Chain A
Amino acid sequence: MFSVLEKYRQAFLIGLQSNLVYRWNFAVRGFFSLFHLAVVFILWGAAFEGSADIGGFDLRQTLTYFVTLLVLQFFVSAFNEDYQISEEIRNGLINQFLLKPINYFAYRFSIFVAARLVSGALVFVPLLLALPVIGEFLTFPLDGWRFAVGIPAVVLSAMIQFCIAYIFGMLTFWFLEIQGFVILSMAIESVLGGQIFPLDLMSPDLFALSMLLPYPYQMYFPAAIFTGRFGFEESLWCLGIQACWVGLLFMIGRGLWARGLRRHTAVGG
């Protein structure tokens, strides 16, 4: 069992090293995210001038939601994994994995975890610098259950993010370019993932409907747990739905890999 895991541990360590090479890239990206955060603070600050309460939450709670979302984004989002997988398929680099006792999904997932640990840690640099300005707006409920449910939700969010990126990468077996699909999906994810506004601000019917899709479980759901937008029972129920989506997306990814390989032609020697 441990010998099986050892090869993925090595992939994880290599992923860690190669992502540390791009540490400045992640740090700069984190720094520019502060501009987006500034837009959020200015817009919502102005919106709360007209109403002290929006959707049952005050300004501090709303801004805390967006800061949490920013941190989650760097910890769980798939940045360019879909393009990397796509490139490996297009250039025939997956051929080497077909001949070795290594699972391609597990290999890519190990690298994804390493990359997110690096980017997640580095986003705290600009956030700590901004803390004197944004600190007074942060307010987190400190119920113990939020951590007990929230941490598994973050792990499952990362898995959903990766599975979706993996599925898009697999499309390369059928399409030469996946950029259009990825960007269209990014736009849908940004709305239904709660990045543009907290989903609970939509009409109740639309909100209930959106919670049946995988997108809110990419980021909105864990952020809603940590920032007090969800209660205990609601969180447990949604954690179940999230786990189902992970299972379903994993199966779709596996199916696409198996079908895609039938179309794949490995050339060269």
Chain B
Amino acid sequence: MLHYLRIWLASARYTVVRTMMFRGDFIVWALVELFWMTVNLLLISVIYRHTDSIAGWTKYEMMLLVGTSMLIQRFLMGFFWSSLFEMGRNVRSGYFDFFLAQPGNVMFMATTRKLDPDSLLNAVVAASVVVYSARQLGLDPSAGQIALYVGMLFCGLVIHYSILVLSISMVFWLTSAQGIEGTYFTLTEFSRLPREAFKSVVTQVLFVWLLPVVVISNAPARTLIDRFGHDWRWIAGPFVFAALWFALAVFVFHRGLRRYASASS
């Protein structure tokens, strides 16, 4: 474990040095992400200019939900996105050989090599949205609630990571998985919606159970908002989904790895 932490810290150090070399890029991308986050919040405030509730959720409850969704998204982008994005291309080009020769688990090496400091910086903004909304709602969460919230954020991150690894592992069979990663982000739009908004059976099965993108953000948000009570299904759900999706991702990745034949030289 300590060995992997050391490897990861070396990668993080490399990322920081690289970011310092391209400071302009870092600032532009941080601004782009910040702007997109503002767009999401703007949508909420425009809708609430004309209505008091969305599926029974008040304005600041919705902001807390959107903030939570953004927070998980920023962590996903910050810790894994660049590596996962490159993985598909590396398998196709043969550069994936580089990871096979490294001193550690291939999935860990290939998916954690690069970090995005701009996304991690914006995670602070997303966290501020959550804190601000909680204050506006007059919430006073206990230490247990906060710990549960953090645990669920971690589960959300694991679920997102696993689904992305699964999608990109398709490259071992299809050779080109270009576009799959981008498409995945369309699905994450659902995580900014409250569970109560999903009325039809089809959308419930698809986005709550099959692809738990709704559970990922709704479960932690509900943990902080007292009026939802403490339903054990909402508490256990993220942990169960995270374990299942991670196991599936590991299985499919290693199955795919067996098919990897490098590229001709």
Contacts from A to B (Cβ < 8 Å): 25, 28, 32, 35-36, 38-39, 42-43, 45-51, 54-55, 180, 183-184, 187-188, 190-191, 196-197, 201-203
Q: Are the C-beta atoms of B31 and A51 separated by less than 8 Å? A: no
1/0 per residue B194-216: CB within 8 Å of A?
10111100010000000000000
Residue contact A43 to B54, C-beta cutoff 8 Å: yes
B28 an interface residue at 8 Å Cβ cutoff? yes
Q: A35-B186, A46-B194, A190-B39 are in contact. List 12 more A-B contacts (CB 8 A).
A: A42-B190, A42-B199, A43-B47, A43-B193, A45-B197, A45-B199, A46-B193, A47-B51, A47-B54, A50-B53, A187-B39, A188-B35
* Shortest distance from the beta carbon of A227 to any chain B beta carbon, whole Å: 17
The chain B residues found within 8 Å of chain A, CB to CB, are: 25, 28-29, 31-32, 35-36, 39, 42-43, 46-47, 49-56, 179, 183, 186-187, 189-190, 193-194, 196-199, 203
Using known A-B contacts A47-B51, A50-B51, A55-B50, determine if residue A39 contacts B190 with beta carbons closer than 8 Å.
yes
Question: Which B residues are CB-close (under 8 A) to A46?
Answer: 54-55, 193-194, 196-197
Chain A residues closer than 8 Å to B189, beta-carbon distance: 35-36, 39
Which A residues are in CB contact (< 8 Å) with B183? 32
Verify A202–B32 contact, CB threshold 8 A. Answer: no
CA distance A190 to B53 in the complex (A): 24
Pick from A54, A184, A197: contact of B32, CB below 8 A.
A184
Most B CB atoms within 10 A — which of A36, A48, A49, A50? A50
A210 smallest CB distance to B (angstroms): 12
- Give the chain A neighbours of B25 by CB distance below 8 A: 180
The residue from A35, A43, A188 contacting B187, defined by CB atoms under 8 A apart: A35
Residues from chain A with a CB closer than 8 A to the CB of B56 are 49
The CA of A196 and the CA of B66, in the complex, are separated in Å by: 15
Q: Is the CB of A50 within 8 A of B52?
A: yes
| Bound complex: CA A36 to CA B194 (Å) | 16
* Cα–Cα distance between A188 and B39 once the two chains are bound (Å): 9
Most chain-B CB neighbours within 10 Å: which of A47, A51, A190? A47
Residues of A near B46 (CB, < 8 A) are 197, 201-202
